[in-house]
Amino acid sequence: MTSAAPMTKQAEALHASLVALEKAIAEEEARQRARIDAVLPKHRLSATNLAHYFGLRKKDVRRLQLDLAALGLSSLGRCEGHVRDTLRRLCGWLSGEGGNATAPGAGEALDWAKAEKILHDNTHALFGPRPPDRHVYIMVTAPDAIEATAAWSDELLQAGADLLRINGAHESPQEWAAIAATFKARARAHGRQGRVIVDLPGPKLRTDIRQLEQPVLHLPRRKDQFGRTVTPTRVLLVAEHAGEAQIPVPPQWLPRLEAGDVLGFTDSGERDRSLVIVGPDAAGVVAQSLRSLYVTPGLELVWRRGEKELARGQVGMMPKQPAVFSVNVGDRLLLNASGQSEDPAARALAFPEPQLLAQVKVGERVILDDGRLIAVVEAKRSDGLLCRVKHAVKSPIRLRSGKGIAFPDSALSLRQLGPQDEIALEFALEHADGVGVSFVNTPQDVALVGERLKQKGKPGFGMILKLETRGAMRNLAAILFEALKHDPVGLMIARGDLAVELSFEKLAEMQEELLWFGEACHLPVIWATQVLDSVAHSGLPTRAEVTDAAMSMRAECVMLNKGPYIAAATRMLVDIIRKMESHQYKKRSLYRPLSLARTPPADKAD
């Protein structure tokens, strides 16, 4: 048996650096010992590796990476899931031992193959069986219940959707139950599981405008890039208005309306319009139109069946709706719990979390409408926070009720399960396969929902942590260790709110880091927010969206939002993922034969 060749000075220096890193990750493991011991036994290896990854990423190893790569060795750039194993194998190669990763007292080995298996097992436990033609899952956000028909579900499933997300901030358990039942039934018909995830609303970080104006119901038509209507706009005819896409008609008409009947009227834009009756629904009668509609109370309706006029009536009462503020840079806004001000001309916004407003300080930023408007707190007064608008995407900007609000500079304590959270959680436990926990800021937020799930004793019920706040980034280590106390569990990079909290520039960096940390603790990650959003809404992508979709396949799941062209967006995403999976897995490039590399045969000599 020959002894290993002596190391060169360069190899000795690299070996010493790697040994120092091994020591650093061992020290981090010792520091995190209490957290590691607290996780589920099945996640113990993952928690240990997570500690190792934190230990590694506290160091600047860029020079070491370049030097290792220059020798044709691993540059540590793909070691997230198996940090210690990678370091020990590198030490083995440099010392002439051929990549041996064993060491005294090393415990259970976690090499690349085992790390991959753990990640895949955790992914399948949360999302269900792997899609047959790819390893990345696709989750789609459910539309309103009236649109989530069996035909809609069939088209979506045939396009390649694997999971459905129901937003617990909209509609009610009655509508959620109809959506979930329809999707699951159609999934079974297609031989699929079709798991359903329900998002808990979380703290209502939204503002309301309490000043009211006359109601106008706008029902836009759905058109393609040529302006042609592609699908009818549906509306529910009811006796009394109780929701957005509803038109109140004379109650005595409802039991007598038949499919094919027409209700004609002149809408508030003074355009002739008609609604064609589709048929009865549990809550009223469904009608549809191929044109956009602007409907106000009191409009005259003419009911016809064929050429015969059956009756005339009026659109019934609808509640007044919140006003729309026109806001310029330099304007002041008042933020308080009531949305009222002694000055009737003041623009007051209601924020239903007064205990959070009390934690905001003068000089801190207030971001409204997903970053389209940025203000700064000028004063804390008895009637609320007085804020001055500093930036807007355009001036003036129209600010509507119900828009999101964020306090990126403020250290806020958010977590409590409100009434709507409780309703959504109880519904999910009965009808769905998991919950999404919104606005996670601390490990206590994870524990609060996680313990509730354990008490219910529903094996296999999943929990997805939505990482969308500055607080989540500050407390990421503690949040991830807390997550490993539960199973199955996953992470969502909620890029919309995260961009508002951190800035778009910082998001570009942070979304990458969150992918790495997900791999380090072997938890599946969902890449979310505005993926192929233009396709979902118009049928056509932008160049940037295609690139974003290609990048998204490094996550275990990609989430699409709702839209009239959501099936087309799903098909496009499936196609992009399939193509990209032959080129890349996580951060690893895969070299399949390229058509561009094929050279034509050499010309024959004359």
CATH code of the domain covering residue 391: 2.40.33.10
Strand partners, 386: 334, 379
**Residue 69 belongs to a domain:** yes
Q: Which of 367, 386, 406 is the last residue of a domain?
A: 406
457 and 571 share a domain?
yes
Judge if 286 and 372 occupy the same domain: no
Instruction: Supply the pLDDT for residue 522.
Output: 98
Where in the sequence is the domain holding 381, given as residue range(s)?
A: 321-406
**Burial of 543 (C-beta count, 10 Å sphere; 0-12/13-18/19+):** exposed
CA distance 304 to 87: 79
Residue 3 pLDDT grade (very low, low, confident, very high; cuts 50, 70, 90): low
Q: What is the 3-state secondary structure (H, E, C) of 130-155?
A: CCCCCCCEEEEECCCCCCCCHHHHHH
Is residue 531 scored above 80 in pLDDT? Answer: yes
Q: What is the pLDDT of residues 168-185, one digit of tens each?
A: 988 999 999 999 999 999
The total domain count for the chain is 4
Question: Are 355 and 308 part of one and the same domain?
Answer: no
Of the ranges 8-12, 263-267, 543-547, which one carries the lowest mean pLDDT score? 8-12
Same domain, 193 and 246: no
Residue bearing tokens 């957290």: 35
Q: What values do phi and psi take at 295, rounded to 5? A: -115, 135
In eight-state DSSP terms, residue 395 is S
| Cα separations in angstroms, 95 against 7, 18, 64, 225, 413 | 6, 11, 16, 63, 51
Same domain, 392 and 445: no
User: What rounded mean pLDDT belongs to the chain?
Assistant: 91
In this prediction, residue 104 carries a pLDDT of 46
Is residue 4 in some structural domain? no
Query: Of 110, 139, 158, which marks where a domain is finished?
Result: 110
pLDDT at 601: 65
Secondary structure element (H or E) that encloses residue 44, with its range: helix 44-57
Q: Which of 338, 333, 321 is nearest to 373 (CA)?
A: 333
Torsion angle of alpha carbons 341, 345, 346, 352, nearest 10°? Answer: 50
Sign of the torsion angle spanned by Cα atoms 159, 164, 169, 173: positive
The residue type at 278: V
Choosing from 64, 84, 110, the residue where a domain stops is 110
Residue 116 lies in a domain: no
Residues 326, 310 share a domain = no
Are 579 and 515 within one domain?
yes
Average pLDDT over residues 319-347: 89
- Judged on CB neighbours under 10 Å (0-12, 13-18, 19+), 600 is exposed
Residues 429, 492 within the same domain: yes
**Measuring CA to CA, which residue among 470, 502, 561, 492 is closest to residue 371?**
502
Confidence bin at 453 (pLDDT 50/70/90): very high
The per-residue pLDDT for 414 is: 62
Taking residues 320-336, report their average pLDDT: 92
Residue 453: CATH number of its domain: 3.20.20.60
Which pLDDT band holds residue 219 (cuts at 50, 70, 90)?
confident
In a domain, 115, yes or no: no
**One domain for residues 50 and 137:** no
The answer on pLDDT for 297 being more than 70 is yes
Residue 371 has pLDDT above 50, yes or no: yes
**Do both 452 and 550 map to the same domain?**
yes
Question: Is residue 424 in some structural domain?
Answer: yes
Rounded to whole angstroms, the Cα distance separating 124 from 110 reads: 20
pTM of the model: 0.78
* 209 occurs within a structural domain: no
CATH number, position 233: 2.40.33
Whether residue 454 is found in the same domain as residue 582? yes
Question: Is 361 within a domain?
Answer: yes
Residue 596 lies in a domain: no
The bridge status of strand 489-494 relative to strand 397-399 is unpaired
Percent of the chain with pLDDT over 70: 95
- pLDDT single digits (tens) 115-169: 999 999 999 999 999 999 899 999 999 999 989 999 999 999 999 999 999 999 8
Peptide bond into 143 cis (omega under 30): no
Phi, psi of 93 (to 5 degrees): -65, -45
Answer yes or no: do 545 and 442 share one domain.
yes
Phi first, then psi: give them for residue 494, nearest 5 degrees.
-85, 85
pLDDT recorded at residue 107: 57
